[in-house]
Each structure stands twice: as C-alpha cells, then as structure tokens.
Amino acid sequence: MRIGIVGAGSIGSLLVGCLSKTSAELLVYGRGLHAAHLTASGLTLHIDGKDVVVCNPNDWEMLLEEQGLPESVQSSCDAIIMTGKASAFSEHLEVSKHLLRNNGLICTLSNGLGHEERLVQAFGAHRVLAATTTHGAYRPEPGQVKWAGIGEINIGPFVHPHTEDSVKTFLQFLADASLEPRWEDDGRALLWNKMLLNIAINPIAGLLGKENGALLELTIFESVASVLLEGATIARAEGVRLDDDAVLIDRLRNVLDKTRTNYCSMLQDIKAGRPTEIESLNTEICRRGEMFGIPTPLNELLSTIIQNL
C-alpha cells in the first residue's frame, strides 16, 4: 500500500518515522528546513526520552512544497493522512487531490471540526474516514522528533460505513508501525471527543507555557475540565452521543498523563510565532453555542485571549 503523509510537522514526521519501519511505500509532503532534513539526512525519532530510532530517507519519497508537484506522483497514493495544521488545510487539500488515486482513502488528523465535511465535498463520502490522534510529538530541531506521549490513532466511519478490505489493510499498516490504531464505530463522537480534549488542553497549556503534565495540578485541572464540559454541552445539543461527564474527565486526565512531557501543538505554534488553531477549536465552540443559544463563557474567554496574544 502506498501511503501519503501530507504535512511533515511533528505528528506527520512521527508517522513517517514509524511507518518507514513497515513495508508501506511512503510519499511525504513537507516544507522548510525540517523537510530538507527529511530529504537529505532522514529523521531521528526520540521515543519518550529513552530509545532513539534513526530513519533512513531512502525509506520514503519526499515532495517539497518549494518545488511543486511532479506529474509522476499524480494519483499514486492508495491512502492519504493529512497531518498539517488547520491553517494549512486548504493547501494540503489541493495537494491530496493530486496524489490520491481513484477510490483511495483519505483522513485528516488536523485538530478542530469541519475538516471531514470538506474532504467529503472534495473526494466523496465513500473515500473519507474520521480520524484523530492522541499521540504527542514535537520537533526540538529540524530533522528530530520527540515522541513525548504514546497515545492512539482513532479511526472510524464519517458518512459512509466503510467495511472494505482497504480500510483493514490501512489499519494493519498503522498497527505494524506501533501507532496503536483503534476502530471506533461512531466517527462523529470520535471527532468530538478529540475536539473536547483540544479545547481544554491546548489554550491553557499554551498560555501557561508548560508541558501538558502541568495541567494535572488540582486547581488548574478543575478549570481545564470545566472548559471541556462546556464544549460537551454543545456536542450533546448537536445530538452527539458522548459518554458521561465522569468518563470524559477521566479521559482528559489520562491523555494529560500520557502526554505529560509533551508541549501541546498550540504552545508550539505560540512559541514559533505561527497562527494558532484557536479558530477551529474554542472559537468554533462559541459559534456553535450561539446557534443553540447556549452560553460558552470559558471558551469565549480563552478564544479572545489567544486571538489577542
């Protein structure tokens, strides 16, 4: 199976490193100095401060944004995982249209809601899977990725039920890569569960400037949980079947614990002076809250502060 990884940031590079150790054929799209390292010297993966895995650039084909897309790679991927930021979504969508073969599968790990609808418009419901990840990773320097939290990749149906063999093969490659794929029958709940984690963790860890583990401190954790529960009210108003509040809070605690040494993606964006994903996260909760006439003061506050940073 030829798998395209579109967006070679922290999570994208983690996937490249792990999948390069399987028999999957890899096509990787990235830009800048980090992508130059991936092309010329490969990738070093530091696993939770213990093991170091060196990944050889001959194990993937690299496409650089700076060079444009060659004809030779057109319609060559059986499956694509878009791993870029929400702000890169439109550009990565165009790249994916070029790379994905007829009837190939596509999913995105971008944080926030609304991306899958755009994939369905572009590729058709039968080609789109819902997917999220709780793996935590960051890039201490170009060519290096720290896998700071071993989580899961959750995959499920979005609109189409997806029982075809290619989905099983795709999941098997992710399992061979030790990326812990897990099939979830309710794709909408899957996307919302990840959204709830991100609206709670990302802006607060971003403002604190600390690793995810700092949010486990009792007084901070209570506020983090309140932001999550405010979002859960909106999900339930939309008819999404979520677990009870206590289960949602346990999951939050668990993800914070597993990614305790990770710098969340919003903190990485703030530090690097890049746009954050706040628009697709807390601001989106406020927008949806307004539609239902449900107040979302905590999400409003975080959204305003992050936007004004």
List of residues contacting ligand KPL (CB under 6 A) = 111, 134, 136, 197-198, 201-202, 212, 255, 259, 262, 264-265
In terms of CB distance, is 39 or 276 closer to ligand KPL? 276
Residue 253 CB, shortest distance to ligand KPL, in Å, is 13
Residue 148 CB, shortest distance to ligand KPL, in Å, is 8
In terms of CB distance, is 96 or 111 closer to ligand KPL? 111
Residue 134 CB, shortest distance to ligand KPL, in Å, is 5
In terms of CB distance, is 111 or 283 closer to ligand KPL? 111
The bridge status of strand 61-64 relative to strand 51-55 is unpaired
DSSP-based three-state secondary structure for 23: coil
Residue 59 CB, shortest distance to ligand KPL, in Å, is 26
∠ CA 110-112-114 to the nearest 5 degrees? 95
In terms of CB distance, is 63 or 145 closer to ligand KPL? 145
Query: DSSP readout, 120-160?
Result: HHHH-GGGBEEEEE--EEE-SSTTEEEEEE---EEEEESSS
Structural tokens at position 279: 């628009």
Provide the residue type at 205 as one letter. Answer: A
- Phi and psi, residue 237, nearest 5°: -65, -30
In terms of CB distance, is 138 or 170 closer to ligand KPL? 138
Integer-rounded Cα Rg, in Å, for the chain is: 18
Does residue 304 contact residue 278 with C-beta atoms inside 8 Å? no
In terms of CB distance, is 78 or 116 closer to ligand KPL? 116
Residue 84 CB, shortest distance to ligand KPL, in Å, is 12
Sign of CA dihedral 144, 149, 153, 158: negative
Residue 115: how many CB atoms within 10 A of its CB? 23
94: CB partners within 8 A, 6+ apart? none
Residue 264 CB, shortest distance to ligand KPL, in Å, is 3
Residue 263 CB, shortest distance to ligand KPL, in Å, is 7
In terms of CB distance, is 147 or 158 closer to ligand KPL? 147
The bridge status of strand 136-138 relative to strand 144-149 is antiparallel
- Phi and psi, residue 142, nearest 5°: -55, 135
In terms of CB distance, is 262 or 296 closer to ligand KPL? 262
Identify the helix (H) or strand (E) that includes residue 103.
Answer: strand 100-108
Residue 66 CB, shortest distance to ligand KPL, in Å, is 26
